[in-house]
């Protein structure tokens, strides 16, 4: 391929690849907004049903559970049957459950319907291998990053849902989303195409497809993704009510500020893919973890009032983050995680080019399970301690695990800080 065509999509095949990328990204954005729906409508539902923090966490997390568990089978199906038909069928299966949420009245109604709505979250494991195979290896990181920018559906949800709630009540939100998803299915089918050569050969059995899961690298990438994606999903679900409770904001103001984390955490994923193509997945992921570590350390400190004995008597001091500093730190972490989500999948496309669907399904499952477990744990910790920043304390520990694991398995064997890796001489 010439230099001109490597930097711009020009030929018929490239135009078709671009159309697939656009259609898939649009579909994933809508699916992600649906997946995150309870992060906003859950706030008035919590008030309506008088839910505890743990119950609220479970309500928001159950759709994430379903979307996570289906990622492996969906990835395998995409390898075997092609992404176009699997993606369209998946979206079609979600329309009715989304609509029925408007008629739910009991807590268990929302939980059951949330399980079915969660299928929309599995779209990531369909679109990632589907899109990647339309592009050459040197551009797969960028292509997957553009597709992954559909994570910005979390921010779309934070803009759209509060406006709909203010105009017509929370029950209208699922109806609007169901109609939007129906329109998206039609647009997706018109914009995308199928290529039988992208499918795994029929002679390759399920056991052979799954054999790669024994590779310890897959487990490591699962750990990375559990924070950069699982943490992103968890906070996207949790932050609206966090702003309401911690800073006393209204629903619309809280959703707007929460979008300062969700939006860059989605749209900048394409830049993370480009950086991973240029500098390598390892370097990008390493610095993402350190930025996360710093931000979470600061965010973990709770609002504190304390008394200091001075020579002129006791004096009162307050220590804590105001809403502006808090939002800035969240935005920085959102940018870092956008890069990290792309870099983890660059690892996969580089090291498992023939099993992208299977491996991305497993790694996506781990990230989704992180997004399921974390909101529940946030609620449990809040109910036990009454301290909202315990959510960040928990994720701070998860990042520590990732940093230690990466150091022992990659940094000691990869010179990323200079010719002699002098910065790491303390480890021997």
Residue 291 in any domain: the answer is yes
Q: What's the confidence (pLDDT) of residue 212?
A: 65
Low-confidence winner among 22-31, 273-282, 374-383 (lowest mean pLDDT): 273-282
- What mean pLDDT do residues 352-364 have? 74
**Cα–Cα distance measured from residue 191 to residue 183, given in angstroms and rounded to the nearest whole number:** 13
Residue 159 in any domain: the answer is yes
Q: Which domain holds residue 56?
A: 14-422
**Cα–Cα distance measured from residue 256 to residue 362, given in angstroms and rounded to the nearest whole number:** 33
Residue 384 in any domain: the answer is yes
52 phi and psi angles, rounded to 5 deg:
-80, 170
Which helix or strand (DSSP H or E) is residue 369 part of? helix 356-385
Residue 334 in any domain: the answer is yes
Higher-confidence residue of 377 and 5: namely 377
Higher-confidence residue of 79 and 41: namely 41
Residue 231 in any domain: the answer is yes
* CATH number of the domain to which 403 belongs: 1.20.1250.20
Residue 8 in any domain: the answer is no
- Are 24 and 127 in contact by the 8 Å Cβ rule? The answer is yes
DSSP for 178-202 reads HHHHHHHHHHHHHH----GGGSPPT
Residue 227 in any domain: the answer is yes
Query: Residue 298: is it exposed, middle or buried by C-beta count within 10 angstroms (0-12/13-18/19+)?
Result: middle
Q: How confident is the model at residue 12 (pLDDT cuts 50, 70, 90)?
A: low
Provide the 8-state DSSP code for 215: S
Residue 59 in any domain: the answer is yes
Q: What's the confidence (pLDDT) of residue 11?
A: 55
**Cα–Cα distance measured from residue 26 to residue 5, given in angstroms and rounded to the nearest whole number:** 24
- What mean pLDDT do residues 263-273 have? 77
What is the total count of domains within the chain?
Answer: 1
pLDDT one-digit tens code per residue, 93-126 = 999 999 999 999 999 999 999 999 989 988 888 8
pLDDT at 184 over 90: yes
Closest CA to 291 of 268, 259, 316: 268
Residue 427's CB is within 10 A of a number of other CB atoms, namely 10
- What mean pLDDT do residues 347-367 have? 77
**Highest mean pLDDT of the ranges 221-235, 350-364, 405-419:** 221-235
Cα–Cα–Cα angle for 207, 208, 210, nearest 5°? 65
pLDDT at 421 over 50: no
- What mean pLDDT do residues 178-183 have? 96
pLDDT at 88 over 80: yes
- What mean pLDDT do residues 190-213 have? 69
């Amino acid at each position: 391929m010439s230099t001109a065509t490597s930097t711009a999509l020009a030929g018929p095949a490239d135009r078709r690849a671009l159309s697939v990328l656009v259609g898939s990204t649009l579909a994933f954005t809508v699916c992600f907004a649906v997946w995150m729906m309870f992060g906003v409508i859950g706030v008035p539902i919590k008030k309506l049903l008088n839910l505890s923090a743990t119950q609220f966490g479970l309500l928001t997390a159950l759709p994430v559970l379903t979307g996570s568990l289906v990622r492996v089978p969906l990835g395998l199906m995409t390898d075997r049957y092609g992404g176009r038909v699997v993606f369209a069928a998946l979206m079609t299966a979600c329309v009715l459950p989304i609509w029925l949420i408007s008629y739910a009245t009991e807590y268990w109604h929302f939980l059951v319907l949330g399980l079915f709505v969660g299928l929309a979250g599995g779209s990531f494991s369909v679109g990632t291998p589907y899109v990647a195979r339309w592009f050459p290896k040197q551009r797969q990181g960028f292509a997957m990053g553009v597709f992954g920018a559909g994570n910005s559906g979390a921010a779309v949800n934070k803009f759209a849902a509060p406006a709909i709630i203010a105009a017509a009540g929370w029950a209208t939100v699922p109806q609007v989303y169901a109609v939007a998803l129906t329109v998206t299915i039609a647009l997706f089918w018109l914009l995308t195409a199928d290529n039988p050569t992208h499918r795994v050969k029929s002679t390759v059995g399920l056991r052979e497809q799954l054999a790669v899961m024994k590779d310890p690298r897959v487990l490591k990438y699962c750990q990375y993704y559990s924070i950069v994606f699982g943490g992103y999903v968890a906070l996207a679900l949790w932050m609206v009510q966090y702003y309401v409770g911690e800073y006393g904001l209204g629903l619309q103001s809280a959703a707007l500020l929460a979008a300062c984390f969700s939006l860059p955490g989605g749209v900048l994923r394409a830049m993370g893919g480009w950086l991973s193509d240029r500098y390598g997945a390892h370097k990008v992921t390493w610095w993402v973890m350190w930025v996360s570590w710093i931000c979470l350390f600061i965010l973990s400190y709770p609002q504190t009032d304390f008394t200091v004995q001075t020579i002129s008597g006791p004096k009162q001091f307050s220590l804590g983050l105001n809403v502006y500093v808090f939002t800035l730190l969240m935005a920085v972490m959102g940018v870092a995680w956008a890069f990290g989500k792309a870099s983890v999948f660059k690892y996969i496309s580089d090291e498992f080019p023939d099993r992208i669907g299977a491996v991305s399904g497993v790694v996506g499952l781990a990230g989704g399970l992180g997004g399921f477990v974390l909101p529940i744990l946030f609620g449990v910790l809040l109910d036990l301690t009454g301290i909202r920043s315990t959510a960040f304390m928990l994720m701070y520990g998860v990042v520590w695990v990732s940093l230690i694991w990466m150091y022992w398995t990659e940094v000691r064997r990869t010179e990323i800080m200079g010719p002699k890796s002098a910065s790491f001489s303390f480890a021997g």
